[in-house]
Structure 1
């Protein structure tokens, strides 16, 4: 299982700093959607240039014009790009077409989908995405009763390659691996730590 750090910051400087601090312990560097909106596609190029040995994940959250937006992100240096799992099927297929053109991977982000998520995961998987990200956003995580176990159970039921984003911590990462996730995505557990490098190292050490 790979470890992905979500660079959920608003400036390229902060993103480069966080990436540098965690580079020895993570496999994937994710540019969060706010960062891409604030800094533009050049942020993807800058992160890839600074860390050519890492997979760079552009969280575009594309909801329309899938092929165009994915092509832009791949051309900027992304290795993986997200398309919304809730988007029109042709949007997903368009993003996948761009991925094939560049020889890169498209990930279907399942954020906002709660009801019927397992069925939709299976549907988009058949459209050619490399894997799905079973993702609970910050607003969903803030709701009473939220638990990462809901995401893990959907992954187990779906039976296709998946990542988990939303509550991955030192206390939950073992369960994420036990559910056979392809990637564990850690955001606040690393970004908000007093020592992000130590936090990333602690998470990585638990991956068998």
Structure 2
């Protein structure tokens, strides 16, 4: 199980400082969508150069022009890129093809995606599928229950990540049941008093 730490809604300068602190401490550092929109591809390059010991996921949330966006994202240094599961199957296929060609990883974000659509996406068997609870949603959810149900509904899907308000207790429960490949954590780490110590706590929880 890997830990992915999301850096979002900060200046590029602060993002680089955080990336330097997180480098080698976590498996994956995420360049959040806000940073992509605020600073673009050159910021991907800067973070990629900073992260010498951790992988870089760039949350570009592709919805269209899949081939172009994925080629650019990998070109500037992304190790993993995201495409929205709500995009057309053809767009996702284009992203998937580029990821395989470049020997890189692709994450399909299942935010608000129906089970019927997921059935169409199972063909992308090397992709990481991400169960994602929107930050804007007001309803509560149980991460462990959601993943367990997903595993029952889609046992064929091999690689799974989860995102959306994950705290240390939830991470421990997910790790205990070995339900996901990647747990994605944002503010529980980045907005804590000591982010590096928080990473250590999460890593201990999911690796033990």
Do they fold alike, i.e. is TM over 0.5? yes
Residue 26 of structure 1 aligns to a residue in which SS?
Answer: coil
- The 5 Å alignment of 1:15-30 reads 15-30=15-30
Structure 1: unaligned runs, 5 residues or longer: none
CA RMSD of aligned residues (A): 1.7
SS of 1:67's equivalent?
helix
Q: Of 120, 124, 137, which residue of structure 2 is paired with 1:123? A: 120
The answer to whether the 8 A contact 2:80-2:107 is kept is yes
> 1:170 & 1:4 partners in 2: Cα distance?
13
- 8 Å Cα contact 1:165/1:186 also seen in 2: yes
* Aligned: 1:82 with 2:82: yes
Contact 1:148 1:167 in 2 (8 A): no
Q: CA offsets, 1:30-80, max 9 Å, x none?
A: 110110110111111111101122211010100111111111101111111
Question: Do the aligned partners of 2:148 and 2:179 also contact (CA within 8 Å) in 1?
Answer: no
Q: 1-side partners of 2:84 and 2:188: how far apart?
A: 24
More off after superposition, 119-128 vs 158-167: 119-128
TM-score using structure 1 length: 0.90
- Name stretches of at least 5 consecutive residues in structure 2 with no aligned partner: none
Superposed, 1:1-208 pairs within 5 Å as 1-113=1-113, 116-117=114-115, 119-140=116-137, 143-157=138-152, 158-159=154-155, 160=157, 161-177=159-175, 178-207=177-206, 208=208
**What is the CA-CA distance between 1:12 and the residue it aligns to?**
1.4
The Cα shift of 1:100 comes to 1.9
Asked whether the 8 Å contact 1:58–1:78 carries over to 2, the reply is yes
CA distance in 1, matches of 2:35, 2:127: 24
SS of equivalent residue, structure 1 residue 138 = coil
Deviations 1:108-149 (A, max 9, x none): 001122xx34x4334323135521011112012xx1333324
